[in-house]
């Protein structure tokens, strides 16, 4: 088995006095698409933010390519080769589409150039000079993903990219994630929609009450449906 690109061990996180993560353990291997599944409030988004250094206090271990990053500032985490596409997309209203796209600096070789991005996301080229927040929800999500593909980061954290989008757009996001994987990127995906997750992921970690409680390989997802329904309350 390949070494883990990202290995999270006994991760705890706090927002102020609130203790959110209570010892999260999981790993992501290079080239995989791995999902964090769980109900609202299970700690999925906080796990993503903790990896990026965006929470108040963290303890435990986050190793990326063998290096401990748990104490690093967000910009230094990003410079190691991790990029976040946040929940709510994080499109800047005062920036047009091109400015949003070009905002993150290139941190390493291997990012997609702008022409390749426009080939993947043709709508963005047509709307290049529009304010970022004037795009449709689906286009904003494409922009948020495209933005981090430029940087050269090899591990992409996608936080609920399908949230609030029409089914046809969700399918499009799914195709995009599969293309990203084919290009060699590694993806950690937060999802509540496990049916969508099943179409893109290699493995699924299930979170509850700030901990990982199970890991289900995608190949076994069908056989684990009852268990999954119970975990997710669906």
Partner 1 sequence: MMMILGIPAPLLFGQLLLGVVNGAFYALMSLGLAIIFGMLNIVNFAHGALFMLGAFTAWGLLNYAGIGYWWALLLAPLIVGAFGVLLERLFISKLYKLDHLYGLLLTFGLALILEGLVRNYYGSSGLPYRIPSQLQGAQNLGFMIMPNYRGWVVLAAIVMCVITWLVIEKTSIGAKLRAATENAPLVQSFGINVPLMITLTYGAGVALAAFAGVLAAPIYSVNPNMGANFIIVVFAVVVIGGMGSILGSIVTGFGLGIVEGLTRVFYPEGSATVIFVVMVIVLLARPAGLFGRAH
Applying CB under 8 A, the residues found at the interface with partner 1 are: 52-54, 73-75, 77-79, 83-84, 86, 90, 92-95, 99, 102-105, 107, 148, 151
Q: Of 225, 164, 227, 191, give the one whose Cα is nearest residue 40.
A: 191
Q: How far apart are CA 181 and CA 89, in angstroms?
A: 20
Q: How many helices (H) does the chain have, and how many strands (E)? A: 9, 10
Q: 117 vs 201, which CB is nearer to partner 1?
A: 117
Q: 133 vs 171, which CB is nearer to partner 1?
A: 133
Q: How far apart are CA 232 and CA 40, in angstroms?
A: 9
Residue 100 CB, nearest approach to partner 1 (Å)? 8
Residue 86 CB, nearest approach to partner 1 (Å)? 6
Residue 184 CB, nearest approach to partner 1 (Å)? 20
Q: 36 vs 83, which CB is nearer to partner 1?
A: 83
Q: Of 13, 4, 17, 105, give the one whose Cα is nearest residue 51.
A: 13
Q: 21 vs 78, which CB is nearer to partner 1?
A: 78
Place of tokens 């990003």: 78
Cβ neighbours of residue 94 closer than 8 Å, sequence gap 6 or more: 131
Place of tokens 């290096």: 67
Residue 14 CB, nearest approach to partner 1 (Å)? 15
Q: 68 vs 92, which CB is nearer to partner 1?
A: 92
For the stretch 113-119, contacts whose Cβ atoms lie closer than 8 Å and that sit 24 or more positions apart, written own/partner, are 113/150, 114/150, 117/146, 117/149, 117/150
Q: 30 vs 99, which CB is nearer to partner 1?
A: 99
Q: Burial, 171: exposed, middle or buried (Cβ in 10 Å; 0-12, 13-18, 19+)?
A: middle
Residue 172 CB, nearest approach to partner 1 (Å)? 24
Place of tokens 């991790």: 82
């Amino acid at each position: 088995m390949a070494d883990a690109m990202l290995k999270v061990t006994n991760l705890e996180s706090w927002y102020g006095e609130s203790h959110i993560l209570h010892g999260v353990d999981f790993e992501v291997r290079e080239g995989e698409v791995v999902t964090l599944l769980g109900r609202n409030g299970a700690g999925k988004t906080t796990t993503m933010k903790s990896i990026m250094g965006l929470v108040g206090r963290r303890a435990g271990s986050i190793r990326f390519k063998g290096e401990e990053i748990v104490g690093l500032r967000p910009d230094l985490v990003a410079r190691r080769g991790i990029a976040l596409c946040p929940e709510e997309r994080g499109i800047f209203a005062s920036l047009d589409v091109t400015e949003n796209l070009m905002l993150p600096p290139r941190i390493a070789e291997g990012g997609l150039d702008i022409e390749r991005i426009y080939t993947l996301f043709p709508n963005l080229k047509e709307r290049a000079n529009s304010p970022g927040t004037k795009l449709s929800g689906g286009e904003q999500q494409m922009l948020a993903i495209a933005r981090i593909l430029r940087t050269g980061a090899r591990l992409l954290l996608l936080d609920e990219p399908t949230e609030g989008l029409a089914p046809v757009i969700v399918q499009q996001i799914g195709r995009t994630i599969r293309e990203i994987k084919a290009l060699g990127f590694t993806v950690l995906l937060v999802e509540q929609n496990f049916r969508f997750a099943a179409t893109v992921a290699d493995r699924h970690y299930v979170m509850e009450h700030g901990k990982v409680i199970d890991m289900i390989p995608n190949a076994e997802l069908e056989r684990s449906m009852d268990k999954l329904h119970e975990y997710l309350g669906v």
